[in-house]
Structure 1
């Protein structure tokens, strides 16, 4: 099979994407200590660009410069002022060496209650719509998470029942189990306790919200000038903008809380203000969870209303996610593949047919089926792009049997959560890309330029 449907170009805004295969946005922690893209960041993205992805979406890049931004050990890259600009322009220039590959910046106003006070600002709680702490429901773990917990803390195996028993716990039984786990983590892994029982954030003022709306527009405009082809607003799976959308985490009584129109105001204002600066043609979209998948969270029917309001405000593509960090088995990393596709018809209908990106695939057959069904327009690979950076070119060349497939073991996620350098169980190069320039540096454009330069200097006189 040649999987031709995966290699048809598609137009989004003013850019044409050469195929229907995107790399999903994934924070991998390779950023420098002050939020600057590093050599490893460049190598990480460049290897995937050489691998044939038509669209590469960056990890979540934070534009919030304030002490209450909620940054933590995941060490996200920043784009907050001109100090960061030349580093981002180096990234865009590098990726554009690769045969028409487009680069989309995922831009975020912060992490809210899914973050916690910065190591340099312990006295300043993260800002959120309401002062409601994160509380993960451990009954919503999946097999990958269980496997990794047992890997990093073998002694904890005695605390963990099998997954079916854990998922069936109710009432006092679950409370007793959770208390046992919290006590254990407080003793053995205190630095990770906030991942289950989050720090209480503080409620943002209206002035602070408006400040973020305005700053977002400024940095989005800068990003296009720096060479990014598209921008995606980071509003999915429980982070700050999602928290405003969700009645579970937004208990405000002002114009940013209450009705769905009020809860979407922060997001829609960002779109409106950004469109005023970048014009109407740029590729400018939003990533949203199709359903929060938590009691009292934002359901799919309300998400569709959000999509409609975002379209009216000026968004012209949408990217699907699901859940939030409180439901770790669904958000980010389900055990199987194609699960996110269930939300795609709702996204297509609510957006009036605008381009939709759907993640979480492993096999090209499954990915092509999603495209051919008309439910989605672009498929994206997250963990599978970690496992095999060359998935697109292998599929195009008919070398499907050579694909290194993701095992859904969650090694990458757990390394990130435990402050390790992110690795992969099936790809030994992950985290070491900068050590293998031969796998990404010989792009046609750069090779031609270097050859021409060498020709011009080979007969220089000796000094």
Structure 2
């Protein structure tokens, strides 16, 4: 019996990943020292996926600057202390046979919020409580959040520089690939969507202009890290709102980003409109990965309530996506890949020796 495609290697540039079961970025809001440095929780959290057989593990949204954090308890990669801490984690994950990616992010108008757990407050954290002023393409608030400051030319140059410097640090820290976060209503998505970008300069208006910042960052990061390291882009393929960002625009910009040096596209949806109506169900975002991959002729990853091995295998086998990225299911079962191998009848050679006694015949 042929090995299901889900358990075949996947190669991007100089990187080969042992299977197509990848861990999607998941914010932990657990840097309690508020300095952006990942610590023991992050090691234990990410290590469970590596021991569980995942091929690629992509870290939570990791800020390229202090003001780019979603909350003050996010991880960062804007200084060398953070590089050293990430290196410690990556060394362990690599020792388990997994590859590791980092999601480089700037939250824009959705920055300076209260962490998603541990507090009885939500929305914008005030400066008095330790928050900071936020920035965006335009002075348009996200729901009830504070109104951001529209980035000027110098501010845009700083964003580009911060992504490039963060990419260089990520390579120093031992990451195998870099993902640029242009989804879920964060800064790069804010520039892409006409609902959040109301600029009248070269960064606003037409699709080419709204995509300009992302494409500048893709090119600059590719130049900075060289030819061997894969660069991914995570898109929200739709705002789920009339007049917003669409899957057709996503496919077009994915094609442009591919020409600019990006290798792969992690396709999610939503996040830029607080009250968007989203028809959630099993695999509800998979058709968007299929559409973008087909229209732009680029490799894609699918997300969105992928919870069963057979479901994950069908997505990859049918060509709807090249890999699946699991999030909440990985929190419930960090050893999903080991379970999937058993359920699908696949022999793998990366069961941890410490767990062999639990291996099912």
* 2:238 aligned partner: 291
1:72 aligns with 2:17: no
1:131 to 118, 122, 139: 139
User: Radius of gyration: which is bigger?
Assistant: 1
Q: Normalized against structure 2, the TM-score is what?
A: 0.87
The higher-RCO structure (CA 8 Å, 6+ apart) is 1
The residue aligned with 2:205 is 258
CA offset at residue 327 of structure 1? Answer: 4.8
Task: Output aligned runs, 1:405-444, within 5 Å.
Answer: none
Cα separation, 1, equivalents of 2:26 and 2:16: 23
Q: Which of 155, 158, 169 in structure 2 is aligned with 1:211?
A: 158
Q: Verify the 8 A CA contact 1:23 1:382 in the aligned structure 2.
A: yes
- Shift in Å, 1:388: 0.4
Contact 1:133 1:201 in 2 (8 A): yes
Question: Within 2, Cα distance between the matches of 1:330 and 1:285?
Answer: 28
Question: Could you tell me whether the CA contact under 8 Å between 2:182 and 2:233 is conserved in 1?
Answer: yes
Q: Deviations over 1:312-346 (max 9, x none)?
A: 11100110110115357777xx7432111111222
1:19 aligns with 2:16: no
Give me the whole-angstrom Cα distance separating, in 2, the residues matched to 1:81 and 1:88. 11
Residue 254 of structure 1 deviates from its aligned partner by 1.1
The alpha-carbon distance between structure 1 residues 123 and 71, as it changes in their structure 2 partners (threshold 3 A), is closer
Q: Aligned residue for 1:382?
A: 327
Counterparts of 1:70 and 1:277, CA distance in 2: 23
3-state SS of 2:220 partner: helix
In structure 1, the partner of 2:115 is none
- Deviation track 1:137-187 (CA, whole Å, cap 9, x = no partner) reads xxxxxxxxxxxxxxxxxxxxxxxxxxxxxxxxxxxxxxxxxxxxxxxxxxx
- Conservation of the 8 A alpha-carbon contact between 1:357 and 1:378: yes
Deviations 1:59-96 (A, max 9, x none): 00001234xx36426x2101112121110111111111
- Structure 1 residue aligned with 2:294: 349
Relative to structure 1, the CA distance from residue 70 to residue 102 in structure 2 (aligned partners, 3 Å threshold; closer, same or farther) is closer
Task: Name the CA distance, whole Å, in 2 between partners of 1:324 and 1:210.
Answer: 25
CA distance in 2: counterparts of 1:385 and 1:123, whole angstroms: 31
SS at match of 1:307: helix
In 2: Cα distance, 1:58 partner to 1:46 partner: 11
CA-atom RMSD in angstroms: 2.5
Separation in 2, partners of 1:340, 1:309: 22
SS at match of 1:256: coil
> Which residue in 2 is equivalent to 1:372?
317
Aligned-partner SS, 2:294: helix
Q: Tell me the residue number matched to 2:349.
A: none
Question: CA 1:443 to 1:255, structure 2 compared with 1: closer, same or farther past 3 Å?
Answer: farther
Distance 1:94 1:42 in 2: 8
The aligned counterpart of 2:94 is 96
Q: Distance in 2 between matches of 1:124 and 1:72?
A: 10
Conserved in 2, the CA contact under 8 Å of 1:97 and 1:443?
Answer: no
Unaligned runs of at least 5 residues, structure 2: 113-123, 346-351, 357-361
Match runs of 1:242-253 below 5 Å: 242-253=189-200
Q: 2:5 touches 2:316 (CA, 8 Å); kept in 1? A: yes
Quick check: 1:13–1:284 contact (8 Å CA) kept in 2?
Answer: no
Paired with 1:14 and 1:70, the residues of 2 have a C-alpha distance of: 30
Distance 2:49 2:32 in 1: 20
CA contact (8 A) 2:69 2:76 kept: no
SS of alignment partner, residue 29 of structure 2: coil
Partner of 1:189: none
| Cross-structure match for 2:269 | 322
- Please give the secondary structure, in 2, of the residue aligned with 1:339: coil
Distance across 2 between alignment mates of 1:269 and 1:112: 17
* Residues 1-10 or 304-313, more deviating: 1-10
State how many pairs are aligned: 337
- Give 1:112 shift: 1.6
Deviation for aligned residue 1:299: 1.1
Say which is worse superposed, 268-277 or 340-349, in terms of deviation: 340-349
For residue 397 of structure 1, give the secondary structure of its aligned residue in structure 2: helix
Residue 113 of structure 1: aligned partner: 109
1:239 corresponds to 2:186: yes
Deviation of residue 240 (structure 1)? 0.8
